[in-house]
Structure 1
Amino acid sequence: MDLAQKAGLIVKAALDKQAYGAVVLDVSRLCSYTDRIVIMHGTSTRQVQAIAQNVRETLKKAGEIPLGFEGERDSQWLVVDFGDVVVHVFYEPMRAFYDLEGIWADAARAQVQETQGDVRIVWPERSKQPEAVGLL
């Protein structure tokens, strides 16, 4: 499964549990431990657990086993690590507090489009991505 398929499947699994504000960041030129970061939130800790669990189960069925899973006890911020994609599922107030989008402000940010149950991840024009404008 390539990165686009994996990120799309992650977002779809999250949206199936009514995740909010899904964002996909391309950090491949900015960090060494992953290529994509997917961020979303839920409005309760129970919903955060359900989102993260559905992401894990959906990708496991597709043959992608997570390398790590953190934060289950408190369910304020759960992280599912698939190696090339790291998923952050926040309880809504924690997302604003930690502001990962701000930390990774130099990363290319994809638009998540959902239509009739289908999810598309649309990247900005290549000229706007960090590697194309010589930032790295």
Structure 2
Amino acid sequence: MANISQEKLLETIIRALDSKRAEDIQLIGIRDLTIVADYFVIANGTSNTQTKALADAVEFEMKQLGIEPIRVEGYQGATWIILDYGDIVVHVFYKETRSYYNLERLWSDGEQKDIEEYLSPAD
């Protein structure tokens, strides 16, 4: 994998989601809770089309950095798309599906991080 800082990867993912008007982008640090990943990035779209567009935007921007996901799941139904980048797992939900699974509650022991630092002041 390219030698790019985790901070830069998080910034790239969050800005990609924001650029496509993702709702309620959450960044949860889970490094101390699981070996699955260091961070979950959670966001949602308001339609299946937007949900796919959000995931596409993340994949495109990460590919620009030379980074491919380890695995991708959920494109068919587009209600919960997972992009696994190893230390960072991106969960892109359709709004109702996000409410149903409520990952934020499941991972409430994680560290809620402020995403504002990843978004440029111009946004």
Provide the TM-score with structure 1 as the length reference: 0.83
Q: Which residue does the alignment assign to 1:116?
A: 122
Task: Among all aligned residue pairs of Structure 1 and Structure 2, give the percentage whose two residues are the same amino acid.
Answer: 31
**Aligned mates of 2:95, 2:28 — CA distance in 1:** 19
Secondary structure, aligned partner of 1:12: helix
Aligned pairs for 1:13-28 (under 5 A) are 13-28=16-31
Q: Which residue does the alignment assign to 1:106?
A: 109
Residue type at the aligned position of 2:71: G
Secondary structure, aligned partner of 1:30: coil
Residue 63 of structure 1 and its aligned partner are, at CA, apart by 1.4
- Structure 1 segments of 4 or more deviating over 3 A? none
Q: How many residue pairs end up in the alignment?
A: 117
Aligned pairs for 1:72-83 (under 5 A) are 72-83=75-86
Unaligned 5+ runs, structure 1: 118-136
Residue 41 of structure 1 and its aligned partner are, at CA, apart by 0.3
Secondary structure, aligned partner of 1:72: coil
Secondary structure, aligned partner of 2:34: coil
Residue type at the aligned position of 1:107: G
Q: Which residue does the alignment assign to 1:48?
A: 51
**Aligned mates of 2:96, 2:114 — CA distance in 1:** 22
Q: Map Cα deviations across residues 23-43 of structure 1 (whole Å, 9 max, x no partner).
A: 111100101121110000000
**Aligned mates of 1:2, 1:28 — CA distance in 2:** 16
Higher RCO, 1 or 2 (CA under 8 Å, sep at least 6)? 2
Supply the RMSD in Å over aligned alpha carbons. 0.8
Residue 73 of structure 1 and its aligned partner are, at CA, apart by 0.4
Q: Which of 35, 39, 42 pairs up with 1:36?
A: 39
1:89 aligns with 2:92: yes
**Aligned mates of 1:104, 1:5 — CA distance in 2:** 23
Structure holding more strand per residue: 1
Residue 4 of structure 1 and its aligned partner are, at CA, apart by 1.5
Secondary structure, aligned partner of 1:60: helix
Q: Map Cα deviations across residues 9-68 of structure 1 (whole Å, 9 max, x no partner).
A: 100001111101001111001011211100000000000000000100100111111001
